Amino acid sequence: MLGGTEPYPLASWANTFTRLRIDLEQALARERELAPAGRLTAEQARLDEANGRFWDAVDRAFATANANGGGPAAESAAAAIIRSEASARHAELVTLVSQLVIHNTRMDEASAARGRDVYDRVARQIYLLAAVLVAGVVIGGAILLRNTRRTFDTVHGLAAERRALSWRMLTMQETLQTEFARELHDEFGQILTAIGSMLGRAGKHAPEGSELRADLREIREIAQTALDNVRGLSQTLHPSILEELGLESTVDWYLSTVKKQLGVDVTYERAGTAVPIDATIGIHVYRVLQEALSNVARHSGTDRAIVRLHVEPGALTLEVQDRGRGLLAESARSRGLGLVAMRERAELVNGTIELLSPSGGGTLIRLKVPLSEIAEAHASALRADPVERRL
């Protein structure tokens, strides 16, 4: 919108933002339904206020763009609002959403701590019953058995709730990205395609060799470049080829775009036999690959990486290695949400993820997924999710 590469004014984006606003409001409403019970009301209020301020800034920008019939001055004023206030409100909204994700993770940890506390209390009861109620061995044993069973049921329930919450959060994320990708591909893609066709027809009516024909050709090339960028961004948000061609083809395509997107030269090593991989598994492997290469670009200090994919009938192994400055395991745990999300995705497919320091320096991220256990993992996640059961 602000780059000046589009031949139509800022006000023409209003309908697209209206649809995005409806989608975002629906997503936030769904998130409130699925939020942890311990969330503070003030946190939700801040998120709603930040969302409102962002859309107020966007509305003012479009109102300014339409003021006095539009024109360069109105366009410039609207662009200034988007660069300053709307961008700042957007950053505030993203920060609050990240804080809520961190809060949910902390609640997971608190749930695990409560489970350990319950187990400790039962252990103390065991010793107390053994010392005091010697005469009531039979009754004490029955009570012990009952309490122990309840304890393990509680621990199992807490773990299942955490897993179900992670599943819902990642599913919501994928749904949002799919909607944005579809909007980009369908809305902007169709507009740019129509513009290119119109410019092609207009160019045929211009005299051969004229400046007008050359200008129309140049504008058409710019529109085609914008169309290619929109399609690339749409595929990055949600790779539709994952459902059409499978994980391996998606990895091939994505690695071909990494140099342009992240500035990282990737060496790709493929081993094993071709095995059909479910798209639900594939999207998690693909997101781990995206996050790992993003970490290389941001933190490693190098512009080269090696990606290895080994697929066999019973397991899948993905490795992303760089020769950069390295990353200690302890510091990586507190580095941000990226590694947390990778671990969550690995757990959801019953896999493991390792962060290693190879002997030659740098960092090695290794994801292992036992393909034979995926169907049972998905079934367990649904059984543990009371919301899904009700639906």
pLDDT in tens, 89-108: 888 888 877 877 777 777 76
Q: CA dist 210 to 199, 202, 213, 218, 275, Å?
A: 15, 13, 5, 13, 56
pLDDT of residue 267: 92
* Angle value at C-alpha 215, between 66 and 9, nearest 5 degrees: 10
316 within 8 A of 299, measured Cβ to Cβ: no
Q: Please check whether residue 199 lies inside any domain of the structure.
A: no
Tokens of 207: 């005299």
Q: Is residue 219 part of a domain?
A: no
The whole-number average pLDDT for the span 375-386 is: 47
Question: Within this chain, do residues 154 and 247 fall inside the same structural domain, yes or no?
Answer: no
In a domain, 305, yes or no: yes
Judgement on whether residues 250 and 155 belong to the same structural domain of the protein: no
In this prediction, residue 378 has a pLDDT band, given cuts at 50, 70 and 90, of very low
Tell me, what amino acid is at 344? E
In-domain check, residue 61: yes
Domain count, the chain: 2
Would 375 be classed as within a structural domain?
yes
- 251-265 as b/e, with b when 16 or more CB fall inside 10 Å? beebbeebeeebebe
pLDDT digit string, tens, across residues 237-249: 666 677 778 888 8
Average pLDDT of span 24-39: 75
Residue type at 126 in one-letter notation = I
C-alpha 342/C-alpha 122 separation (Å) is 34
Structural domain includes residue 301: yes
pLDDT band at 376 (very low <50, low <70, confident <90, very high): very low
DSSP element (H, E) containing 224: helix 211-237
352-356 and 315-322 strand pairing = unpaired
Residue 382's pLDDT is 44
Higher pLDDT residue, 220 or 259? 259
Q: Are 111 and 161 in contact (CB under 8 A)?
A: yes
Closest CA to 248 of 308, 291, 171, 174: 308
Query: Do 282 and 153 share a structural domain?
Result: no
What is the mean pLDDT of the segment spanning 128-139? 78
The answer to whether residues 17 and 155 belong to one domain is: yes
19 and 109 assigned to the same domain: yes
- Other beta carbons within 10 angstroms of residue 15's beta carbon come to 10
Q: Which of 232, 237, 224 is nearest to 191 (CA)?
A: 224
Across the chain, the runs of DSSP E, i.e. the strands, are: 265-272, 304-312, 315-322, 352-356, 363-369
Region of residue 336 (phi > 0: left; psi between -120 and 50: alpha; otherwise: beta): left
Q: What pLDDT was estimated at residue 317?
A: 92
Instruction: Identify whether residues 146 and 285 lie together within a single domain.
Output: no
**Residue 159 and residue 277 in one domain:** no
The domain of 282 spans 243-382
Question: 0.85 cut: is pTM over it?
Answer: no
Instruction: Look at residue 33 and tell me whether its pLDDT is greater than 80.
Output: no
Cα–Cα dist 293/301, whole Å: 12
Same domain, 158 and 258: no
Poorest-confidence range of 57-66, 79-88, 175-184?
175-184
Q: Which amino acid is at 75?
A: E
Instruction: Name the percent of the chain lying above pLDDT 70.
Output: 76
217 by Cβ neighbours in 10 Å (0-12 / 13-18 / 19+) ranks as: middle
Confidence check: pLDDT of 129 > 80? no
112-122 pLDDT, tens digit each: 787 788 878 88
Is the domain of 136 the same as that of 260? no
pLDDT at 219: 82
Q: At what angle do helices 87-132 and 41-66 cross, to 10 degrees?
A: 170
Same domain, 155 and 30: yes
What average pLDDT does the structure give for the chain? Answer: 76
Using the 3D structure, point to which of 129, 151, 166 is the last residue of a domain.
166
CATH number, domain of 336, equals: 3.30.565.10
What tokens appear for 96 in the block?
């609050």
Nearest CA to 195 out of 211, 231, 213, 219 is that of 219
Q: Of 142, 166, 190, which closes a domain?
A: 166
Same domain assignment for residues 259 and 121? no
pLDDT given for residue 389 in this prediction: 40
Among candidate residues 166, 185, 216, the one where a domain is terminated: 166
Let me know if residue 223 belongs to a domain. Answer: no
- Is residue 186, in this structure, part of any structural domain at all? no
Question: What's the pLDDT at 268?
Answer: 92
